[in-house]
Amino acid sequence: MAPASVSEIRIPFSEFLLISHPETVQEVLVSAVRALGARNGYAAARLEAEILLAHTLKISRALLLARLGDPISPADAAQFAGMVARRAQNEPLAYIIGHQEFYGLDFIVDRRVLIPRPETEHLVELALAALKKIAHPEPVIADVGTGAGAIALALAHHTTDTKIFATDISPDALAVAQLNAARLNLSDRVEFRQTDLLEGITTPLDLIVANLPYIPLERLNQLPREIRHYEPRVATIAGLDGLSVIRRLLQQVEQHAARVCFIFLEISEEQGRAAQELARALLPRAHVELHRDLEQLDRVVEIRLQR
């Protein structure tokens, strides 16, 4: 079934609020589920409605479900209605509530940054494992294209004697990343740089992690509307083959790498072979390995460079 139009979704919900004058949490929740159910089914609509309403009322979902019979103020009902209308237009849930969990940490996100995904947590796990193999007492890390700062700050949170650079070409993205660093009390652990990839970094790097744009231009119109219309294009699209930004990074690696350097690059599931061949062509002396995510899809290219 095709998704309902915005007018088909918003009008019934608004009429419910204006005509029925809902008085309880349960009533507005039921109405929201009906409004959102046309998008992707009852179960997903119920979950999203509960998240939005819990956020509106500033309580947990568990507490929300315990208070279904409680009254709701007109102001809270109106705020909730506005958020439901935004979700009905496919705006990502994380942008509406302004938060996204990543590797056990809570990050502020908005339309200036890509929303951190669960599959990217594998990149952090691999990086933390690699740090144990580095003999340097104070490993130096670069998170290239940091966005909201999720990878850099997760690494900072789970390490002690590391120096971490987080780079991004977007000043707007860096503003969000620095806000997250302050909220997580990690500002003194990460140095943020507005630059193109590794330009301007002069300290030899023991570890490089990057979740760079990797979607081919031809796939732009095939992306979900949530991504295509809301997430920053500079953080998603990467030339005709989806590897243009990764290619430029690999061309910079040797001049920035320490004697031994681990590099972890997130890729799209269909790019495993192409990304490996690219890495071997540009870094012929490196060991290149492919890692799969929990769904057994190609997800991370590991490159170990030793000189």
**pLDDT per residue over 220-266, tens digit each?**
888 888 888 899 988 998 888 999 999 999 999 999 999 999 999 99
pLDDT above 90 covers a percentage of the chain that reads: 76
Residue 191 has pLDDT above 90, yes or no: yes
- β-pairing, 99-102 with 105-108? antiparallel
- Write down the pLDDT at residue 133: 94
- Write down the pLDDT at residue 240: 85
Mean pLDDT of the chain: 90
Judging by beta carbons within 10 Å of its beta carbon (0-12, 13-18, 19+), is residue 172 exposed, middle or buried?
middle
- What are the DSSP calls for 39-54, one per residue? HH-HHHHHHHHHHHHH
Res. 22 pLDDT band, cuts 50 70 90: low
Asked whether the beta carbons of 88 and 36 are under 8 A apart, the reply is yes
- Write down the pLDDT at residue 305: 95
Res. 21 pLDDT band, cuts 50 70 90: low
**Among residues 123, 114, 102, which one has the least CA distance to residue 263?**
123
Most confident of 15-19, 48-52, 220-224: 48-52
**Domain limits, the chain:** 6-89, 99-306
- Write down the pLDDT at residue 10: 44
- Write down the pLDDT at residue 16: 45
Q: What are phi and psi of 266, to 5 degrees?
A: -75, 140
- Write down the pLDDT at residue 12: 47
Establish whether domains 6-89 and 99-306 are of one fold: no
Strand partners, 215: 237
Choosing among 1.10.8, 1.20.120, 3.40.50, 1.10.10, the CATH entry for 6-89 is: 1.10.8
Most confident of 12-26, 207-221, 233-247, 279-293: 279-293
- Write down the pLDDT at residue 253: 96
pLDDT above 70 covers a percentage of the chain that reads: 93
How confident is the model over 73-91, as pLDDT tens digits? Answer: 989 998 999 999 999 999 9
What angle, 0 to 180 degrees and rounded to 10, lies between the N-to-C axes of helices 74-88 and 6-15? 170
Q: What is the mean pLDDT of residues 190-211?
A: 97
Please report, to the nearest 10 degrees, the dihedral formed by the alpha carbons of residues 231, 108, 247, 243 taken in order.
-30
- CATH code linked to domain 99-306: 3.40.50.150
Residue 287 has pLDDT above 70, yes or no: yes
- Write down the pLDDT at residue 261: 97
Residue type, 232: P
- HSE at residue 165, side-chain half, CA atoms within 13 A, is 24
Q: Which of 8-17, 51-60, 93-102, 144-153 has the lowest mean pLDDT?
A: 8-17
Asked whether the beta carbons of 155 and 128 are under 8 A apart, the reply is yes
Residue 29 has pLDDT above 70, yes or no: yes
